[in-house]
Amino acid sequence: MIFGGLQRSSLIDYPGELAAIVFTIGCNFRCPYCHNPELVNGTAERLSEDNILSFLNKRRGKLTAVSITGGEPTLHNENLLNFIKKLKDLGYKVKIDTNGTNPEFLKTLIKEKLIDYVAMDIKAPLDRYDEVVKANVDTSLIKKSINLILEGEVPYEFRTTVLKCLLNESDIEKILNIIKDARLYCIQNFIPTKTLDPSFLDKRGLSKRELDDLKMLSKKYVKIYQIR
């Protein structure tokens, strides 16, 4: 398997763990605000699986977990499955980030106890997915992934990146209704650094007051709410 990046350590990506982050190449969404455009358009510098596993083997006992993100990791199916098995053989906890479009693969990872934490991005209310992610989306798959995560035993979080130009309070409330009683919901306020669509470098996230309003709203729906 070929990867598009490696962050050697992070204290914030995997709750409670010192983790390395590996980045997969390719995505089935084209979110204009995506901050990893090189992974989406395939221009990222390639790293081999052997190089990553060699690094992780040397860091055993210092690092405790590996976070797999993208792009969309679940596009890699069996290749990813085999890679995760190798991580587990090295003794690592594994977190996966996903957009929820491959619930059957996610179900396999959970059933085989190959992941210890899952973070699912919910991009928009189901009726606005195509508009926000700039792709044709079967939202029944999104709903299946949400239900699978809510009903499973793997620790999880749901999260949404917010931009004033794309999502409003009503949109967030629709999302909250879908994940009602979830353990953890995170709002990620958009910060323009690099974007798939360069015009989004001029867009802005929400103000502190707007974020506080969403916090008050979210308290009615989920157990824990965070702003990142």
- Please report which confidence band the pLDDT of residue 156 belongs to, taking 50, 70 and 90 as the band edges: very high
How many other CB atoms sit within 10 Å of the CB of residue 189? 18
DSSP string over 124-136: S-GGGHHHHHTS-
Asked if residue 159 has pLDDT above 90, the reply is yes
How many other CB atoms sit within 10 Å of the CB of residue 126? 16
Rounded CA gap, 179 and 13, in Å?
22
* DSSP letter assigned to residue 202: G
Using alpha carbons, select from 97, 93, 98 the residue that is nearest to residue 116.
Answer: 93
Question: Sign (positive/negative) of CA torsion 69, 31, 43, 108?
Answer: positive
Asked if residue 228 has pLDDT above 90, the reply is no
* 113 contact partners, CB below 8 Å, separation of at least 6: none
pLDDT of residue 161: 97
Give the global pTM. 0.95
pLDDT of residue 153: 87
The residue whose two tokens read 């989406």 is: 40
In the chain, the domains with their CATH numbers are: 2-175+191-203 (3.20.20.70)
Q: Between 77-89 and 103-111, two packed helices, what is the crossing angle to 10 degrees? A: 20
For residue 102, give the 3-state DSSP assignment.
coil
- Verify cis geometry, omega within 30 degrees of 0, for the bond prior to 71: yes
pLDDT digits (tens, 9 = 90+) for 88-109: 999 999 999 999 999 999 999 9
- Please report which confidence band the pLDDT of residue 85 belongs to, taking 50, 70 and 90 as the band edges: very high
Sheet strand arrangement including 2-10: 47-48, 2-10, 19-24, 65-69, 93-98, 117-121, 156-162, 184-189, 224-227
- Please report which confidence band the pLDDT of residue 143 belongs to, taking 50, 70 and 90 as the band edges: very high
- Please report which confidence band the pLDDT of residue 1 belongs to, taking 50, 70 and 90 as the band edges: confident
pLDDT of residue 47: 94
pLDDT of residue 164: 92
Q: Are the CB atoms for 145 and 121 separated by under 8 Å?
A: no
DSSP string over 27-82: -S---TT-S-HHHHTT-SPPEEHHHHHHHHHHTBTTB-EEEEESS-GGGGHHHHHH
Asked if residue 176 has pLDDT above 90, the reply is yes
State mean pLDDT over 8-15: 94
Q: Are the CB atoms for 24 and 70 separated by under 8 Å?
A: yes
